[in-house]
A and B are shown apart, each in its own frame.
Chain A
Amino acid sequence: MSELNNFMIEIKDLHASIGDIPILKGINLSVNFGEIHAIMGPNGSGKSTLANVIAGRPGYEITRGSIIYQGEKINEFLPEDRARKGIFLAFQYPVELPGVRTWQFLKAAFDSVRKEKGLKELSIREFDKLLEEHRQAVEMDPDLVKRSVNEGFSGGEKKRNEILQLALLDPTLALLDETDSGLDIDALRIVSEGVNVFKNPNKSILIVTHYQRILDYIKPDYVHVLMDGSIVKSGTSELALELEEKGYEWIKESMSDGS
């Protein structure tokens, strides 16, 4: 599938606005197959916007530049088409869907993604078996599968549900938006294990995070610092540790020094 010199995702001079407010101001980023990239930055820098723009969230308008996913420009693609082509966004705040059963939701999502891949629909029994394996892996309470999606779930349960969906839908590009926020150490471990199981040479991961903590569990190949809508610094995982130690102010200062 991956041609020579072809990226998983290539973002070129991306500008995006929410309403009339420009948030992203010229992002350039290329992620190879098999790589993990972390996007770090202070609050309001545009990290979550970047993840949401890639996923195609309505209301987030691309005003310039392009997003090339596996060689195809996806600027105008519907969010469901991006998902079916293998882009997965783990939400910072997973949405509660009152009255929509988790099982029903997962089955509908699973069927639509599988159909796109040209695979035949699984029987309910086969699907249940697969779901059960993934549920156990994220140590999610079996009762939650019967309940409405995320309704009354704790913060940790919601995030586990995101990782369960990641495993079940088996995308190629995972966008993790502040997945570590609100997690205790145990939940963080379970969630990180889920992500590490997902990782392989044909898949890529983009982690959006404010804190370095999750990067102790999921080791990035590259770290980018986003400030005021552009990437101001890129480096290896060492950069995350440096940020943890010196804070984002340090980047600002080094920028104004012209270094």
Chain B
Amino acid sequence: MNNSYMENIYNQFNRLDDSANLWCNAFRKTAMETFSDIGLPVKRKGNEKWKYTAISSIVDKKYLLADKSNIDIDTIRNVAPYSEKWTNIIFVNGYYDSRLSDLPENGMILDIGSAMLDNSQADKLKNTIGSIIDYSDEGFAALNSSFLQDGLLIEIDDDLDAIVNVIFYNTGDSLTFNNPRLFIKAKSNSSASIIESYVGGSAHISLTNSVCEIQVGSKANIKHFRMLSETDNTYDVGYSRVKIDDDAIFSSTSFCKGANIGRYDSTVVLDGVQANCNLKGLYFTSGNQHMDNYINIDHTKVNGISNLFYKGILDGKSRAVFGGTVLVRKEAQKTESIQSDKNLILSPYAEVDSKPALFIYADDVKCAHGATAGNIDADSVFYMRSRGIDAATASKLLIYGFADEIINSVNIPELREYLEESFLKSIPDYVFEF
């Protein structure tokens, strides 16, 4: 048994200063107890959730809890989606950076670190943070909770016009770990667009271990975007839980392109009647990267609609995993659900394990699912070459075209431009031989 990583984590935990907030101390302690029991999901045998992702290279190292760090805004803007039109909230190594952020004064957005020092906010924290997730079988989420020090709580009362852009920047100091934490609470009838980005990293190994909770109140309409773009030396594990109430709409688009081992574990529970969720994703892996998307949808009430549409582009010796389940419970009659994962494989050494699953316990539903993996279409390349476009350019246009279906669906122009540029830059020069 390799328990040295546990010992190291205890040491880090014991070095944490007590929070002035009693609730927080208790929260951490409870989480650490769970973490001690379950550890990290090293064992893959019999563990469907981690079947295709080995974390041995993550746990065989000793990490220090990342420190606060002073960096300038240009560093952030170089790597993250950013616009002066947005409300930009920036965390460095998991710690809120007031210098770089423009927190509105209406109290709708709270940095958890400051809120914990304010007794009047105690109930608010208690009623939100940790209320949606269940880490009893989730080592990484328990680990994140054990180290709760800071984070962001966004409460949306009404229609939030300004786009909230939350950036978690990791300085990537050698063998450090950081624990970003986000809670989004959209009250009834509210609407907002929120961008959640994980960026940074360095040439050294580091670990970003985030937790995000989203509560979508009845008739609310939340658009969420998630960006994973750290360096190839970063391990990034993200855990998110979303609950959608009656008649509410939750749309989320996830982009994954940078991490050594990346994992995004997201479950959306359609907790109210006629709830609607629309999940899209684009992952792009190259070199020796490993990207695991584990995306689940849980239909619990009648008239729910869910669309899950992921696409992957794989190059080099990279590996991608797409897993997750659409569950339609017995009570969830009249559910409509589509689940699909399409992959474009650019290299004979790349591999995808795509296993979307569908469990239906209701008898009056419309559900479909499917997965595909294929190379660039030879006829398409020839068609373009026959118009004078060289093979490399043709391939590039086709690869980009494959991604475009997801990128082009982003309705925030500045974000779409960022994605276009960022993905175009990462498309390799590739000539297909047929």
Q: Inside 8 A of A82's CB, which chain B residues have their CB?
A: 386
Q: Inside 8 A of B393's CB, which chain A residues have their CB?
A: 108, 112
- Stretch from A95-103, A199-207, A231-239, A246-254 forming part of the interface with B: A95-103
Q: Is B374 an interface residue (CB 8 A)?
A: no
Which of B383, B391, B408 meets A97, CB within 8 Å?
A: B383
The answer to whether A59 touches B434 (Cβ under 8 A) is yes
The answer to whether A78 touches B385 (Cβ under 8 A) is yes
Query: CA separation between A84 and B434, bound complex, in Å?
Result: 21
Instruction: Decide: A109 near B380, CB < 8 A? Known: A97-B398, A100-B397.
Output: no
Instruction: Decide: A95 near B402, CB < 8 A? Known: A108-B397, A112-B388.
Output: no
Count of chain B residues with Cβ under 8 Å from any Cβ of A?
A: 25
The answer to whether B379 touches A105 (Cβ under 8 A) is no
The answer to whether B401 touches A148 (Cβ under 8 A) is yes
The answer to whether B400 touches A80 (Cβ under 8 A) is no
Q: Is A24 an interface residue (CB 8 A)?
A: no
Which of B377, B387, B405 meets A105, CB within 8 Å?
A: B387
The answer to whether A100 touches B382 (Cβ under 8 A) is no
Shortest Cβ gap from A122 to chain B (Å): 15
The answer to whether B390 touches A97 (Cβ under 8 A) is no
Output the nearest chain B residue to A84 by Cβ-Cβ distance.
Answer: B388
Instruction: Decide: A98 near B405, CB < 8 A? Known: A84-B388, A108-B397, A169-B387.
Output: yes
Q: Inside 8 A of A88's CB, which chain B residues have their CB?
A: 386
Shortest Cβ gap from B102 to chain A (Å): 36
Query: CA separation between A175 and B383, bound complex, in Å?
Result: 14
The answer to whether B397 touches A104 (Cβ under 8 A) is yes
Output the nearest chain A residue to B400 by Cβ-Cβ distance.
Answer: A99
Query: CA separation between A58 and B384, bound complex, in Å?
Result: 13
The answer to whether B389 touches A108 (Cβ under 8 A) is yes
Count of chain A residues with Cβ under 8 Å from any Cβ of B?
A: 31
Output the nearest chain B residue to A175 by Cβ-Cβ distance.
Answer: B386
Give A92-133 as 1s and 0s: 1 = Cβ < 8 Å from B's Cβ atoms: 001111111000110011001100100000000000000000
Q: Inside 8 A of A65's CB, which chain B residues have their CB?
A: none
Q: Is A89 an interface residue (CB 8 A)?
A: yes
Q: Inside 8 A of B434's CB, which chain A residues have their CB?
A: 58-59
Q: Is B403 an interface residue (CB 8 A)?
A: yes
Give B387-428 as 1s and 0s: 1 = Cβ < 8 Å from A's Cβ atoms: 111110100011011111100100000000000000000000
The answer to whether A112 touches B397 (Cβ under 8 A) is no
Q: Is A179 an interface residue (CB 8 A)?
A: no
Q: Inside 8 A of B391's CB, which chain A residues have their CB?
A: 78, 80
Q: Inside 8 A of B162's CB, which chain A residues have their CB?
A: none
The answer to whether B400 touches A169 (Cβ under 8 A) is no
Q: Inside 8 A of B380's CB, which chain A residues have their CB?
A: 95-97
Output the nearest chain A residue to B393 by Cβ-Cβ distance.
Answer: A108
Output the nearest chain A residue to B406 by Cβ-Cβ distance.
Answer: A99
The answer to whether B402 touches A97 (Cβ under 8 A) is no
A-B contact pairs, 5 of them (CB 8 A): A83-B386, A95-B380, A105-B387, A112-B393, A116-B388
